[in-house]
Amino acid sequence: MTSAPEATSVPQTTGAPEATGAPELPLSAKGCPVLHGESFATRSAEVYAQLRAQGAGAWAEIAPGVHALVVTGRRAAVDMLNDPAVYAKDSRLWADLNAGKVPQDSPVLPLMAWRASVLYADAEDHTRLRWALDDCIARISPHRLREVTRRSALTLVSRVAEQGAADMMADFADTLPLMVFADLLGCTSEMATRMVRLAQQMISAGPEAAQGAVDYAGLLYELIQLRRVQPGDDLTSWLLGHDAKLSDEETLNQLYTTVGAGVIPTAAWMGWALHLLLGDDSYAGTLAAGTVTVRRALEKALWVRSPMANFSVHFARKDTTLHGIAVPGGVPILVSHAAANTDPGLPADLGYENRSHLAWSAGPHRCPAISQATVIAQTGIETALDQLWDMQLAVTDDEIQLRHGPFHQCPVAMPVTFRPKSAAAIRAAATDGGTP
């Protein structure tokens, strides 16, 4: 069996009780909860309740006509993530994709189809690629990273400072990680400008997204050729010169997936932390007094709003079971980081500063750049709060919408207001030349 079971074998759990007046949540043609579209974006907690009602994991439709097993139980997720002998990352095992049952234009393919990258590698291939990535990431100077992030944040804040209002997603969080990555990868000024534009096309998930992905890969190839003949003090040059001897294809895909895995989750993380700092009375009331740190808000956001909602895709090498779930070989298995972090079975007094959440995944494929992502998010937020010190949310919780799709838990927008500030003064604070 390589596809979702028929509707008759799936519990018909449809979310909110009828007494609430809320419409029933949709099910797929095979009777499964739906992890995409408007209903999931607006009622994700109810969809996770649908899944939990069926055990530690259940079938779900993650895109039109595409089904996967989604693990919602934290213990089951941890066990799977730490069992590479049974569960592989290589999506060439995806039976339905191999059989032509997954639409070639499916929106999940850009993140699930195989690439010659550490994200999809197992065993010796994973060890070699992870060795190169870990070594090169470790070479990033924390001081340099903070300075690049600070200058980039100041540049973005200066663009909206005199308006007295901004969307902290589109105007700030969506772009800041891209600017930082462009610097770390060794892009020229012109390449950096292109990188931001192309990556934003992909993030939009609109009709231009597919072409943006193609052009973005082309830009990375161009960068690799440049750094082969003109090595620099940057991540691209370090990967090319590493003893793991990566090919150009491997280098390109390492960079592609590293940036892809870092940009949207970091943007979402900053958005949710800002939401806590500005909107939660326990944070907003004490922020000015300095008794609540940005770092604490960032940690809570990872628990309650995991930026990667459902990902860590694996494939069972053969038919097996996971905490009572029948797992056919060759089907995609996603970990619901969002559901696992809010698993009702977790101790009530665990505390948000406990870092046992699964927002970074776990096991051999745990995120390799946790400290670097933290520096970007924390420095970016602290810089924005320092410059726009009287910033206030301009929307209520009910007005914050999520971007569609199964993978990311990311706000569409985060509107704020503040008294207008001098853009020139903010630009002057970036005394090191700024970033593109």
Structure tokens at 110: 């850009």
Number of H helices, E strands in the chain: 17, 10
DSSP tag of 229:
H
CA distances for 275 relative to 15, 158, 284, 309, 417, angstroms: 26, 21, 9, 17, 13
Residue with tokens 């069972």: 316
Rg of the chain over all Cα atoms, to the nearest angstrom: 22
pLDDT in tens, 387-417: 999 999 999 988 999 988 899 999 999 999 9
Separation of first and last alpha carbons in the chain: 51
**Domain extent listing, the chain:** 7-429
Q: Identify the residue with better confidence: 11 or 43.
A: 43
Q: Are 71 and 322 in contact (CB under 8 A)?
A: yes
At residue 290, the pLDDT reads 53
Q: What would the pLDDT profile of 343-381 be if each residue is shown by its tens digit?
A: 998 887 777 777 789 999 999 999 999 999 999 999 999
Between CA 322 and CA 328, with CA 324 as vertex, the angle to 5 degrees is 55
Q: What are phi and psi of 327, to 5 degrees?
A: -115, 105
In Å, how far are 3, 69, 103, 210, 230 from 213, measured between CA atoms? 28, 27, 18, 5, 25
Segment 219-234, tens digit of pLDDT: 999 999 999 999 999 9
Q: Which residues contact 127 (CB under 8 A, 6 or more apart)?
A: none
Strand runs labelled E in 89-217: 165-167
pLDDT of residue 31: 93
pLDDT reported for residue 301: 95
Indicate the pLDDT class of residue 4, thresholds 50, 70 and 90: low
As a residue count, the chain comes to 436
pLDDT attached to residue 262: 84
Query: Comparing C-alpha atoms, which of 371, 287, 336, 291 is closest to residue 69?
Result: 336
Tens of pLDDT along 126-162?
999 999 999 999 999 999 999 999 999 999 999 999 9
DSSP string, 354-391: ----STT--GGGS-TTHHHHHHHHHHHHHHHHHHSTT-
pLDDT exceeds 70 at position 208 = no
Asked whether residue 12 carries a pLDDT value surpassing 80, the answer given is no
Work out the pLDDT band at 16, boundaries 50, 70, 90: very low
The answer to whether 246 and 258 are in contact (CB under 8 A) is no
Taking a C-beta distance cutoff of 8 angstroms, is the pair 383, 157 a contact? yes
Average of per-residue pLDDT values in the chain: 89
Question: What is the maximum span of the chain, computed from C-alpha positions, in angstroms?
Answer: 68
> How far is the C-alpha of 204 from the C-alpha of 93, rounded, in Å?
29
Least reliable range by pLDDT among 39-43, 156-160, 270-274, 277-281: 277-281
Neighbours of 53 (CB within 10 A): 15
The two structure tokens encoding residue 176: 């800041």
**Per residue in 43-57, pLDDT tens?**
999 999 999 999 999
Quick count: other Cβ atoms within 10 Å of Cβ 113?
15
State the pLDDT at residue 326.
96
Among 271, 316, 331, 263, residue whose Cα is nearest residue 297: 271
Nearest residue to 337 via CA among 73, 154, 155: 73
- Closest CA relative to residue 123, chosen from 87, 69, 92: 87
> 168 near 384, Cβ under 8 Å?
yes
Mention every residue, 6+ apart, whose C-beta is less than 8 A from residue 362.
77, 78, 81, 82
Q: Which CATH number fits domain 7-429: 1.10.630.10, 1.25.40.10, 2.40.110.20, 3.40.50.880?
A: 1.10.630.10
